[in-house]
Chains A and B, each alone.
Chain A
Amino acid sequence: MAISSFFGSSRAVFFAAILLRAIFLAYGVLQDAYSPMKYTDIDYFVFTDAARFLSRAQSPYSRDTYRYTPLLAWLIYPTTWPGFWFSFGKVLFAAGDIITGWMMFRILRTYQNMSQERALKYASIWLLNPMVATISTRGSSEGLLGVFVTALLWAVLAKRVPLAGFLLGFAVHFKIYPFVYATSIIWWLDTDRTAPSRTNKAAAPPSPLSLLFKFATPQRIALAVYSLITFLGLNAVMYLVYGWPFLEHSYFYHLIRIDHRHNFSPYNTLLYLNSSPKEGTGFTAPSSIELERLAFLPQLLLSAVMIPLAIAKKDLSSTMLAQTFAFVTFNKVCTSQYFLWYMMFLPYYLPESTLLASRSTGITALALWVLGQVFWLQQGFQLEFNGRSTFVPGLWASSILFFLVNVGILGIIIRDVREKAPSTGEIKSPKKKV
């Protein structure tokens, strides 16, 4: 069959992935040139403006709403050169997609022991996904993160701990949220896995001190040290060069931001309600309980503590999927670009998931996930463009429903990983090819 011969050739798949992005890129250039409605993402203008400030020896933070590391602006510095160079960043982001896809393919082949065809099929969830291609060719940097995070996963699976530490530190410097992966990687890197032969479980109850020594393996210490040095080193350099605005815009802004503009987060309506001043009483009156201030608790407990502890040893890549899913679902701000953060882990999880095994579950989950967004978007459109006050119940209800759908999917992911066979070093237990 044409399809199977297509997925049989890595060249064909990667050529198609590159072609897809080239077409989107060219289309975007044309639309930008001839239409006042731009294909290019607003954020891309933020990055390129910031790069232009760099080229004039100014701070990238001179550009309003630039809330990223200066490295991003440096990475796309060539966009300040004339002519087609303006699209350099999009080409870079699209190339990042392809590299990510290639690493996915390698991980699936090596660590999930898939046939080439099967690995290419699952890598195509990313490579041939029009949503992924659109996001990167419109000039959003979220896809670039895929390179770092996927490389991190690969480095960990390949036991290249110093490299993994460096990538983890770099990814956290770049986008903060990958810090949740630290716990799952540390937890996953146990002696059982990293020692050449499996140690026996101690018969006698070990003392806390010996447990601690047992936990603090050289690998774990190395990962912590390398990632901390990278993270702190990058921050120190950026702080020395760009000063307070770097810390303010790259980090503190994300910690204190309360995004009032409606978004997918279940907290959104509550945040709007509780941060707005009550009528007749001058400036902001704080709400009675401010429960929304505790929103980080379930989010971080789940994504950084409980999920890694419960399932990281079974399957690292699926655990990272579950962590990201929990982080995004329970976040105080949630826009569709964040969905890319977990999409990059789907190729590792889906092959053995209930979502694919049980067609009805999978289709129902996908349909609900899409419908949740459609319902929300419809309510959002009524608000933004028709001026209808859909905050309550419409937007609130749709964001709660979408949240519940996501929680349901996350539950399925978690159960799937838990129900897996007790993990051995994945590379050492090749699964039968199906």
Chain B
Amino acid sequence: MKERITYIVKNPEEFTPEQLEVKDGAFALKGVNAAKEHRITLGLNELPRELTKALEQWHELHIRWASEQPYTAIPPFTSRVTPGLHVFFTPLKDRPEGQLCELLHSAFGSDLKCSSTTEAPIKLPILSERFSMSSSSQYYSYLSSLSTLITYVQENLCRPSSSSCNQTASSLLLASYLDIDYDTISHAVILNAYWDSASNADAWTETVTLPSRDQTIEIGVLSHEPNPDPEDIGFGGFLTVLGQDSAPKPTRFQTPMRHYPLPSSPKLTYTTAFSHPTGLHPTLHISFPTPLTAPNPTCKLHTHLTLPSYLFIDKYQFSDALFLSSHHLRSLRSIAGATDLEAPDWVVPQWGSAALFELAVPKTSEEMAKAEWNASIPLHLRYLPAAQRSHTRVPVPWPVVFWACRAEEGTKMAVNPFDRLHLGYEGLFGPKTRFMHVPPAEGGNGTGRLVEWIDVPVLDMRKAAWVETGTVVTVIVAFLVLCWALFGPIRSGNKDMGRGKNASKGKKKQ
């Protein structure tokens, strides 16, 4: 087991080295206002047998979970995914079917829509062949909390006696995001969690202890340094290898970043909303309250949508230039997954679909002068099962929005010790791409969440008791009436228009 803990101090002026202390194989922080990343690397032999066996079914498995609570993404933890549970994986060649659904149901929640591992995931499109590290399949589900995982970890991974293990697991409840990575080459599982701030009063006061004598824990307390190179971010601070070092050692380094922060001013954010009423064709609006200017001329604004199966995109709508520009869209760059335009939700086995749009940015001076810029994406709802209510409420997590810019040095990004891959959209770009994420507005949807809820009208079964009988009786009666019309008695042989009651008025006009 290896551990690395990184604190990024938010306000370097307030920080003094006296807040850190190494004593008796323990590292103590006092009131450090910082974001924190905790990375634990476990060898397969350190895991329970069943879990090892489950993991060995895949060539690689990458789980990305992001909280629906808005969080501050401090560099180098700049990358973002749509809130919820993402799984990216590549099955082994000779074993195409891993038991993914079973694993997800036991570790994350039994109510995830995942009925069959062969059918639930979707194939990821790879626009950039050279991005060979991309996984082949994707699964996603809305998941608001990691509480099931915490119980799973505590019951399956922690020794009951280990309070630090149990505590670390519980701390996931407040994490902003969590990554779990496994691949056959490293033969190790890496758990990586990020908290944008401490739970109590925005400052970390905690003690890190070594779980055993023969282990070490790397602890960095860093803050940003002025940028030395345009594509790098500089860090300075203190590094401590707990178990070896008796005191924090000063450090200073710089690294290129795949996910680069936006310039701090003007502060750009976005909000997501649906126009109401949503009906069966909700339109997703992405609004930028402040003027949009590209950080540099190579940057193109994109949004990546992760749509659960009850929502879908009609890709054929987005081939018309006028339609696109009226929605402030440039193009639908990629769409993958459940795109059937007719199927109701219950016959769609996949979790849903993922789409990448390039958004238009203000061009004319008139557009630039406007305070707010708004892009909209027309979506469609599938029919949901009939239920004992008139509407079924479904969550729609906010998409991620970012500038994709050309990077001069693509390959060097991997040397970044904090590099984060397998987010579902990098494979759609070339390797020399730098992502500059637009953060979602802090208030979220108004209740502080990065998720919209849609009320989908469904057949209300409380009112449908008569539908079957009513329909069948109507059809049978209609059929019998027509039989009577066909074979019943008539006044026959009347060549002119003599037809009972109509006979008197039956003269044609001509």
Binding site for B on A (CB under 8 A): 33-36, 38, 42, 45, 49, 64-65, 118, 259-261, 266-267, 269-270, 272-279, 282-284, 289, 291, 295, 298, 301-302, 306-307, 310-311, 326, 330, 351-352, 354, 356-361, 383-393, 396, 400, 403-404, 407, 410-411, 414-416, 418-422, 434
**Is A277 a contact of B461 with CB atoms below 8 Å?**
no
Residue of B nearest to A381 (CB): B279
| A-contacting 9-mer, from B48-56, B73-81, B93-101, B338-346 | B338-346
CA distance A295 to B277 in the complex (A): 35
Residues of B within 8 A of A396 (CB): 467, 470-471
Would you call B445 an interface residue if the criterion is a C-beta within 8 Å of the partner chain's C-beta atoms?
Answer: no
Residues of B within 8 A of A284 (CB): 346-347
Would you call B363 an interface residue if the criterion is a C-beta within 8 Å of the partner chain's C-beta atoms?
Answer: no
What 8 A-B pairs are tightest by C-beta distance, nearest first? Answer: A389-B390, A358-B502, A389-B457, A36-B326, A421-B495, A276-B385, A391-B459, A310-B486
CA distance A281 to B244 in the complex (A): 57
Residues of B within 8 A of A420 (CB): 495
CA distance A337 to B214 in the complex (A): 77
Residue of B nearest to A45 (CB): B316
Residues of A within 8 A of B132 (CB): none
Given contacts A261-B342, A283-B115, A302-B479, are A358 and B506 in contact (CB under 8 A)? yes
Would you call B213 an interface residue if the criterion is a C-beta within 8 Å of the partner chain's C-beta atoms?
Answer: no
Chain B: how many interface residues by the 8 Å CB criterion? 69
**Is A391 a contact of B458 with CB atoms below 8 Å?**
yes
Q: Is the interface of A mostly helix, strand, loop or mixed?
A: helix
Shortest distance from the beta carbon of B120 to any chain A beta carbon, whole Å = 12
**Is B464 a contact of A273 with CB atoms below 8 Å?**
yes
Task: Return 22 A-B CB contacts under 8 Å, by A number.
Answer: A36-B326, A45-B316, A65-B341, A65-B342, A272-B459, A275-B344, A277-B346, A284-B347, A295-B475, A298-B475, A298-B476, A306-B482, A311-B486, A354-B506, A384-B280, A385-B281, A386-B279, A389-B459, A403-B478, A414-B485, A415-B499, A419-B494
Given contacts A259-B342, A270-B471, A421-B495, are A387 and B487 in contact (CB under 8 A)? no
**Is B490 a contact of A419 with CB atoms below 8 Å?**
yes
Residues of B within 8 A of A298 (CB): 475-476, 478-479
**Is A388 a contact of B457 with CB atoms below 8 Å?**
yes
**Is A270 a contact of B346 with CB atoms below 8 Å?**
no
Shortest distance from the beta carbon of B182 to any chain A beta carbon, whole Å = 29
**Is A36 a contact of B323 with CB atoms below 8 Å?**
yes
CA distance A33 to B322 in the complex (A): 8
- Mark B469-497 against chain A: 1 for CB-CB distance below 8 A, else 0: 01110111011011101110011111101
Given contacts A276-B346, A361-B502, are A393 and B463 in contact (CB under 8 A)? yes
Shortest distance from the beta carbon of A180 to any chain B beta carbon, whole Å = 15
| Residue from A306, A392, A414 in contact with B463 in the complex, judged by beta carbons closer than 8 Å | A392
**Is A391 a contact of B460 with CB atoms below 8 Å?**
yes
Given contacts A276-B386, A277-B346, A414-B482, are A384 and B463 in contact (CB under 8 A)? no
Residues of B within 8 A of A434 (CB): 508, 510
Residue of B nearest to A40 (CB): B320
Shortest distance from the beta carbon of B380 to any chain A beta carbon, whole Å = 10
Give how many A-B residue pairs fall within 8 Å (CB-CB): 198
Most B CB contacts (10 A, CB to CB) among A36, A330, A361, A393 go to A36
Residue of B nearest to A431 (CB): B495
**Is A387 a contact of B277 with CB atoms below 8 Å?**
yes
Other than the given A310-B487, A354-B502, A416-B499, 15 more pairs (CB < 8 A) read A36-B327, A266-B474, A266-B475, A270-B472, A273-B464, A275-B344, A282-B115, A301-B479, A357-B508, A358-B506, A384-B279, A389-B457, A391-B464, A400-B474, A414-B486
Would you call B372 an interface residue if the criterion is a C-beta within 8 Å of the partner chain's C-beta atoms?
Answer: no
Contacts of B185-223 to chain A: CB distance below 8 A: none
Given contacts A357-B497, A357-B506, A403-B474, are A277 and B482 in contact (CB under 8 A)? no
Residues of B within 8 A of A351 (CB): 508
Residues of B within 8 A of A357 (CB): 497, 499, 502, 505-508
Residue of B nearest to A253 (CB): B342
| Residue from A118, A260, A400, A410 in contact with B471 in the complex, judged by beta carbons closer than 8 Å | A400
CA distance A419 to B491 in the complex (A): 6
CA distance A28 to B264 in the complex (A): 49
Would you call B72 an interface residue if the criterion is a C-beta within 8 Å of the partner chain's C-beta atoms?
Answer: no
Shortest distance from the beta carbon of A282 to any chain B beta carbon, whole Å = 7
Residues of A within 8 A of B505 (CB): 357-360
**Is B479 a contact of A411 with CB atoms below 8 Å?**
no
Would you call B59 an interface residue if the criterion is a C-beta within 8 Å of the partner chain's C-beta atoms?
Answer: no
**Is B277 a contact of A383 with CB atoms below 8 Å?**
no
Residue of B nearest to A401 (CB): B474
Given contacts A65-B341, A419-B491, are A384 and B281 in contact (CB under 8 A)? yes
| Residue from A38, A269, A283 in contact with B464 in the complex, judged by beta carbons closer than 8 Å | A269
Residue of A nearest to B343 (CB): A260
Residue of B nearest to A395 (CB): B459
**Is A419 a contact of B499 with CB atoms below 8 Å?**
yes
Would you call B128 an interface residue if the criterion is a C-beta within 8 Å of the partner chain's C-beta atoms?
Answer: no
Residues of A within 8 A of B293 (CB): none
Would you call B152 an interface residue if the criterion is a C-beta within 8 Å of the partner chain's C-beta atoms?
Answer: no
Most A CB contacts (10 A, CB to CB) among B387, B459, B487 go to B459
**Is B471 a contact of A411 with CB atoms below 8 Å?**
no
Shortest distance from the beta carbon of A115 to any chain B beta carbon, whole Å = 9
CA distance A420 to B281 in the complex (A): 50
Would you call B24 an interface residue if the criterion is a C-beta within 8 Å of the partner chain's C-beta atoms?
Answer: no
Most A CB contacts (10 A, CB to CB) among B386, B391, B456 go to B386
Residues of A within 8 A of B483 (CB): 306
**Is B510 a contact of A407 with CB atoms below 8 Å?**
no
**Is B322 a contact of A415 with CB atoms below 8 Å?**
no
Would you call B416 an interface residue if the criterion is a C-beta within 8 Å of the partner chain's C-beta atoms?
Answer: no
**Is B482 a contact of A302 with CB atoms below 8 Å?**
yes
**Is A404 a contact of B478 with CB atoms below 8 Å?**
yes
Shortest distance from the beta carbon of A428 to any chain B beta carbon, whole Å = 15
Residues of A within 8 A of B384 (CB): 276
Shortest distance from the beta carbon of A277 to any chain B beta carbon, whole Å = 5
CA distance A399 to B407 in the complex (A): 59
Residues of A within 8 A of B327 (CB): 36
Residues of A within 8 A of B342 (CB): 65, 259-261
Given contacts A358-B502, A384-B281, A391-B459, are A352 and B497 in contact (CB under 8 A)? yes
Residues of A within 8 A of B492 (CB): 418-419, 422
Residues of A within 8 A of B494 (CB): 419, 421
Shortest distance from the beta carbon of A259 to any chain B beta carbon, whole Å = 7
Given contacts A273-B468, A400-B470, A421-B495, are A391 and B457 in contact (CB under 8 A)? yes
CA distance A354 to B491 in the complex (A): 14
Residues of B within 8 A of A383 (CB): 279-280, 457
| Residue from B339, B460, B481, B507 in contact with A389 in the complex, judged by beta carbons closer than 8 Å | B460
Given contacts A118-B510, A275-B344, A354-B502, are A326 and B482 in contact (CB under 8 A)? yes
Residue of A nearest to B324 (CB): A36
Residues of B within 8 A of A418 (CB): 485-486, 490, 492
| Residue from B323, B346, B460 in contact with A392 in the complex, judged by beta carbons closer than 8 Å | B460
**Is A392 a contact of B482 with CB atoms below 8 Å?**
no
CA distance A291 to B467 in the complex (A): 12
Residue of A nearest to B339 (CB): A64
Residue of A nearest to B505 (CB): A358
Most A CB contacts (10 A, CB to CB) among B277, B279, B327, B478 go to B478
CA distance A336 to B342 in the complex (A): 18
Residues of A within 8 A of B344 (CB): 260, 272, 275-276
Residues of B within 8 A of A283 (CB): 115, 346
Residue of B nearest to A397 (CB): B470
CA distance A298 to B457 in the complex (A): 31
Residues of B within 8 A of A278 (CB): 385
CA distance A176 to B246 in the complex (A): 85
Shortest distance from the beta carbon of A285 to any chain B beta carbon, whole Å = 10
Residues of A within 8 A of B501 (CB): 358
Would you call B225 an interface residue if the criterion is a C-beta within 8 Å of the partner chain's C-beta atoms?
Answer: no
Would you call B418 an interface residue if the criterion is a C-beta within 8 Å of the partner chain's C-beta atoms?
Answer: no
CA distance A250 to B475 in the complex (A): 28
**Is A260 a contact of B383 with CB atoms below 8 Å?**
yes
